[in-house]
Amino acid sequence: MKADIELVRLVKSGDTQAFSELVRRHQKSLLRLCMKMFRDLDLAEDIVQESFIKSYEKIHLFEGRSSFKSWLFQIAVNTGKNRLRSMKRETVDLEKVSLSIDAEAEQDLAHQDIKKVLIEEVERLPERQRVALTLRVYEDLSFKEIAQIMNCPYDTAKANYRHGLMKIRDVFKENESMRTVFEDWDESRVPINRSNEVKT
């Protein structure tokens, strides 16, 4: 299977099938991100479609300094914000975001109560902490990629993620029945990701 960067080179040379493969690889994760951000299926699908169109039109501008996925996500985030501005909404109301738990992640949770509390606590996080946590945990992006998508310094992206993570950890540690799930946490571990290895 060709790497994304190889497919991008083919697209630049006029291979439309290569772009179709990029769409196939990333459309589900892109739609998932847009749904988490905007909580509206019609809007999310429109943004996904528009983002792929823009990425195709601007593919010559992609230099490979980041992954194609993070570049595409940045286009989607900006496209979504612009769409909402055109609807006379200044910013994305991320306080209404409802983050779902991936099927694989659910297997690592002790029971449904933990899932419910986790979703509720993530929804209570400040906007930028929530976006950073979403991109890190659900999309498995590095802090460098998150910083690019959020248009902020690397250290800011990392701080937003860790502050959000610590808030959720503290809530779980206060709950006697859930404390053991997070008793071994430290800053380098992700709570609902099976891998203990952290991307930077």
Secondary-structure class of domain 4-86 per CATH: mainly alpha
Question: How many other β-carbons are positioned within 10 Å of the β-carbon of residue 146?
Answer: 26
How far apart CA 82 and CA 68 sit, in angstroms, is 21
How far apart CA 21 and CA 26 sit, in angstroms, is 9
| DSSP letter (8 states) at residue 59 | G
The pTM of the full predicted model, rounded to 2 decimals, is 0.60
User: How high does pLDDT run on average in the chain?
Assistant: 75
How far apart CA 79 and CA 95 sit, in angstroms, is 19
* pLDDT over 60 at 167, yes or no: yes
Q: Where are the domain boundaries for CATH 1.10.1740.10 in the chain?
A: 4-86
What are the percentages of helix, strand and coil residues in the chain, rounded to 5?
Answer: 70, 0, 30
Q: Where are the domain boundaries for CATH 1.10.10.10 in the chain?
A: 95-182
Confidence of residue 102 (pLDDT cuts 50, 70, 90): very low
Write down the pLDDT at residue 101: 39
Write down the pLDDT at residue 104: 41
Secondary-structure class of domain 95-182 per CATH: mainly alpha
Write down the pLDDT at residue 53: 94
The whole-number average pLDDT for the span 142-162 is 89
Contact criterion met (CB below 8 Å) for 27 and 48: yes
